[in-house]
Amino acid sequence: MASNDFDNRWGTDTDGEIPIELLEHDAAIAGQAVSYEPTDPDAFRVMVRELAIAREDYTFLDLGSGKGRVVLLAAQAGFGRVVGIEASPLLHHTACTNLRVWAQAGHGTRHIDLRSEDAAGADIPPGPCVVYLFNPFRERAMSRLLRQIRRSLQHVPRDLWLLYYNPQARHLLESSDCLARVTVGRGFQQGDYEIWRSHAAFRGE
């Protein structure tokens, strides 16, 4: 499926790369943020198939959700709850419009939540979840997010998967004691992907 086939099919506007200087991020975020590029739908489906979980029991969290394409794909893939967090007000606005278009096309949307916030400091939902990152930010923001994830797992040990597409800051995960690498996929046009999972000790096992 070509990237814009998704929009052609559903009438949404999720395609196209947008450079960082047009995203109107707050100054505090801009220095760590990466520009907008949507995930290829076929690559997303391959990655999600790797998750050995009952999706309806999991919250899917797209951190740096852009125009919301992955949020809609995750809803379509059957996750129990889907949350998209995007710092660019411009992209968040487009994502909200896309969600309305999605609802008008007959899809249920009550389990979908779009927020305009800094995703690196996001509260991680307390139940089982999948955190999705398509290389949204640089090292400092990534370190902050990993501290959030660790704190959250310490507080409520549970099953948490991290799906990291184009994993530019993978070395930070390698030094994390709460996540273990499950698999690596290569050969996609937009980069490799890595799948990590909360370590058994952080799942309460």
**Can you give the binding site for ligand SAM, defined by CB under 6 A?**
23, 29, 33-34, 36-39, 62, 64-66, 69-70, 85-88, 91, 118-120, 134-137, 141
Cβ proximity to ligand SAM: between 48 and 91 the closer is 91
Least gap, CB of 145 to ligand SAM (angstroms): 8
Least gap, CB of 131 to ligand SAM (angstroms): 11
> How far, in Å, CA of 77 to CA of 171, rounded?
29
Angle at 145 between CA 142 and CA 147, to 5 degrees: 115
Cβ proximity to ligand SAM: between 66 and 125 the closer is 66
Q: Where are the alpha helices (DSSP H) in 27-68?
A: 27-30, 41-49
Cβ proximity to ligand SAM: between 34 and 182 the closer is 34
Least gap, CB of 140 to ligand SAM (angstroms): 10
Cβ proximity to ligand SAM: between 86 and 159 the closer is 86
Q: Tell me which residue of 85, 90, 86, 84 sits closest to 24, measured CA to CA.
A: 90
Residue 155 buriedness (CB in 10 A; 0-12 / 13-18 / 19+): exposed
Q: Where are the alpha helices (DSSP H) in 85-193?
A: 89-104, 139-155, 170-174
Q: Which residue's beta carbon is nearest to the bound ligand SAM?
A: 64
Least gap, CB of 49 to ligand SAM (angstroms): 17
